[in-house]
Amino acid sequence: MKGVEYEYKGLTEPALKNINFSVNAGEFISIIGSNGSGKSTLAKLLNVLLLPARGEILVNGLSTSNEENRSKIRQNVGMVFQNPDNQLVATMVEDDVAFGPENLGIPGPEIRARVDNALKMVDMDGFQRYSPHKLSGGQKQRVAIAGIIAMEPSCVVLDEPTAMLDPRGRKEVMDTISYLNREKKITIIYITHFMEEASLADKIFVMHRGQIINTGTPEQIFKDIRSLKEVNLDVPLVVELAESLRKEGFSVPGVMSIDGLVNYICS
């Protein structure tokens, strides 16, 4: 994005102001920011659900403002939203996953292969003939992700996909996303309220009032607890605990993972 701005009618302040960033193929980016900071608006601009008022958005070199590019961009940038129930439309899992590729005009035998492959990738093989409403939240969200993967996008944008899930469902979805990024080299843009989830990314963007106010590795971003609290964000529990121990005089190294801190304490 270059100099991107977006305004909703009736709002006094733009939802996005002068947004500039680039994401490399294969990267895993997390976006954090309090409610109303512009995260969902940014996500919708990436696959042309919205168009920028000013500035330019290039996806694989194609501008979203050029109408000829739109279907190609939408196929390339898959979107996953918060509520899995709103994303599943069919009465059988395999029909749901087939929906996207069917709309792309993919021939029948290839759709079969893509559906089975996508369900394997989200660890839902064998559920082809299940009814989506009988699945757990985490399973539903993984089926929704399979429906996106079946369109073979190079990038997937997820807007708080774990917000409605229990801890187990959240872990299932996070494991799936990490797998798609690490093993399948799919670029991930992951919006979340959960700092533990954000810390799995290569890089974090911090949003506040329509701007990206900070970018860095999870270690860099979570080091500055005070700045995050100023914009109503927290740090992962493990970071907070390590900081409390430092205040008590323990020389805790910069640990990010729970295992890292457990190892330190136990030694």
Ligand X SMILES: Nc1ncnc2c1ncn2[C@@H]1O[C@H](COP(=O)(O)OP(=O)(O)O)[C@@H](O)[C@H]1O
Interface positions with ligand X (CB under 6 A): 8, 11, 15, 33, 35-41
Does an H or E element contain 157, and which? Answer: strand 155-159
CB of 134 to Mg ion, least distance (A): 28
Q: Tell me which of Mg ion, ligand X, none is bound by residue 216, counting a contact when its beta carbon lies within the kind-specific cut-off of 5 to 8 angstroms.
A: none
- Which residue number, 32 or 106, has a Cβ lying nearer to ligand X? 32
- Which residue number, 151 or 233, has a Cβ lying nearer to ligand X? 233
- Which residue number, 41 or 47, has a Cβ lying nearer to ligand X? 41
What's the per-residue H, E or C state across 45-97? HHCCCCCCCEEECEECCEECCCHHHHHHHHHHEEEECCCHHHCCCCCCHHHHH
- Which residue number, 42 or 98, has a Cβ lying nearer to ligand X? 42
CB of 221 to ligand X, least distance (A): 17
Q: Determine the straight-line distance between the first and last CA of the chain, rounded to whole angstroms.
A: 46
- Which residue number, 45 or 149, has a Cβ lying nearer to ligand X? 45
Q: Tell me which of ligand X, Mg ion, none is bound by residue 8, counting a contact when its beta carbon lies within the kind-specific cut-off of 5 to 8 angstroms.
A: ligand X
Neighbours of 108 (CB within 10 A): 10
CB of 40 to ligand X, least distance (A): 3
Q: Tell me which of Mg ion, ligand X, none is bound by residue 11, counting a contact when its beta carbon lies within the kind-specific cut-off of 5 to 8 angstroms.
A: ligand X
Neighbours of 137 (CB within 10 A): 19
CB of 183 to ligand X, least distance (A): 29
Provide φ and ψ at 22, rounded to 5°: -135, 150
Provide φ and ψ at 20, rounded to 5°: -135, 120
CB of 187 to Mg ion, least distance (A): 20
List of long-range contacts for 242-248, beta carbons under 8 Å, 24+ apart = none
The contact mask relative to Mg ion for 3-42 (x = CB under 5 A, - = no) is: ------------------------------------xx--
- Which residue number, 127 or 205, has a Cβ lying nearer to Mg ion? 205
Q: Tell me which of Mg ion, ligand X, none is bound by residue 30, counting a contact when its beta carbon lies within the kind-specific cut-off of 5 to 8 angstroms.
A: none
DSSP annotation of 134:
G
Dihedral angle sign, alpha carbons of residues 85, 88, 92, 93: negative
CB of 109 to ligand X, least distance (A): 40
- Which residue number, 32 or 124, has a Cβ lying nearer to Mg ion? 32
| Interaction residues for Mg ion, span 39-98 (CB under 5 A) | 39-40
Are β-strands 203-208 and 211-216 bridged in parallel, bridged antiparallel, or unpaired? antiparallel
**What is the per-residue DSSP string for 194-244?**
-HHHHTTSSEEEEEETTEEEEEE-HHHHHH-HHHHHHTT----HHHHHHHH
Q: Tell me which of ligand X, Mg ion, none is bound by residue 41, counting a contact when its beta carbon lies within the kind-specific cut-off of 5 to 8 angstroms.
A: ligand X
CB of 239 to ligand X, least distance (A): 22
- Point out which residues bind Mg ion (CB under 5 A): 39-40
